[in-house]
Structure 1
Amino acid sequence: MSRTVRAVAGEFLGSAGLAAVVVGSGIAAQRLSPGDVGLQLLENAFATALGLGVLILVFAAVSGAHFNPVVTLVDIALHRKKWSTAATYLPAQVLGCIAGAVLANLMFAAPAVTWSTTERSGWHLLLAEAVATAGLILVIFALVRTGRSHLAAPAVGAYIGAAYFFTSSTSFANPAITVGRMFSDTFAGIAPASVLPFIGAQLVGAALGWALVRLLFPATAPQRVAAVA
């Protein structure tokens, strides 16, 4: 198996695992703690933070463990990599997140696909997504460009776990997982009509994060990027 095929497979499996963790823990939280949304969010955030850290550790050496289109795009832009990487990574990330959401539904005896009815609209949620995504990009590439990418797994897991609570949008910060979440009408879902505005805000946040990295960390350490959300 070629290195490219392994990398794409790693992105697909890692993205599927991420979606399964996010959606599955959301379903479990909803069933274990009915009527207590705060506890549901805590359970969902805790599982996501732990699962994300593990997935990064597993797949970092295979694909860089992006699992996130904006991480891939910023990595290419910052480090002058080939844009053809995006043509293979981005579809794998989106399809992986869809597959992971479907898998989570099935693991909890729910229909394979149930379109989410959870509307997530309003300027404050879009602002939160831009902030969450900019912060994620800054965390990842600050570590990469200062030679500390080995800390990405715990740092990114911790950041996403915290961002579940300090952002009003609960920090999707990832276009691929945003698409995947619309396939599950459960705690972590997002209605299809809310997806494009969320992705737009994430792209704005990614651009802001890219600018901050360029400003604060101009020197690039010779390391491979590893991380997502």
Structure 2
Amino acid sequence: METPRRNLPWVQFYKCVTIGDEAVGKSCLLLRFMGKKFRPELDPTIGMEADQRIISIDDKPTKFQIWDPAGEESRMFCTSRGLYRGAAAAILVYDITRRETFDHIGRWLKEAEELAPPNLTTILVGNKCDLSHERAVSYEEGQEFAEKHGLIFMESSAKTNQNVEEAFFTAARTVSKKSEDGVLHPSAECAGLPLLLHVKFGRGAGSFQACGCCIS
């Protein structure tokens, strides 16, 4: 596993958002990706959290910035164009033990397609696969939905760390390939140039690097 790095030089920058119902494990996946321990009693996200990690994509240091909004209770904030503006990737998460969270992914996908820039890379993640004995959604159902909508699909577990790195790295590699192929172009709104902004996190206050257009 690559050691998370946050403040080293980078040559490309991509913004990613996590979306899905409340309590499907979006924040736990982000914590794991940032190299932190799994916290089963993690408090619900309030407002917006964000973090970033420098990763290597085809030997290019890449700043991968991930925005983690609150769940259903803050939909008015989450559905603003500010969340999706400049996003190149989305991690769409459902809980394999809660059928309703899978039933709602079509709505989340529609929202992302309407509000995000064109050619958004979306990874569909069925989280909590460590609880397969409580499964309410089969692997085949997730795979079928992904194939129907042209998404990349995998199941993950923030608890065991299964496919957490793979989900985020797959998103970053796919975006980088689209950029190299000329499919994805920096927009006038978001050219990937960083600006230090201060954002109130769900569990405190902090600052991180973000392009100035990312908040409306």
Common fold: TM-score over 0.5 = no
TM-score (norm 1): 0.27
Return the structure number with greater relative CO, CA threshold 8 A, min gap 6.
1
More helix by share: 1
TM-score (norm 2): 0.29
